[in-house]
Amino acid sequence: MQLTAPAGSRTGIRDTDGMAVASFILGLLGLLVLNVVLGPIAIVLATVALVRGTKRRGRAALGLTLGIADLVVLAAFMQADSTVSWSF
């Protein structure tokens, strides 16, 4: 009984493509809500996808950029309101 894929097969590419797309979506969503949580998750997913060699490098790079933007927006609103969260 074999529980893992054979060493020669490339099963990680599909996973990394999913990580790239997820980082983009979470980074975009993080600009609106829960940026303190979604921003770092988007950064980690995008970094892992880029390190593992995703085919969707542009989407992973955009997810990384949006994750960083989430934290910049959070820092700007924290500076303006002197709080950890923000609302419209």
DSSP assignment of 40-80: HHHHHHHHHHHHHT-S-HHHHHHHHHHHHHHHHHHHHHHHH
List, for residues 38-71, the tens digit of each pLDDT value. 999 999 999 999 998 888 899 999 999 999 999 9
pLDDT for 80: 83
Q: Are 26 and 41 in contact (CB under 8 A)?
A: yes
The pTM of the full predicted model, rounded to 2 decimals, is 0.77
pLDDT of residue 53: 87
Q: Count of CB atoms within 10 A of residue 44's CB? A: 15
Predicted pLDDT at 76: 87
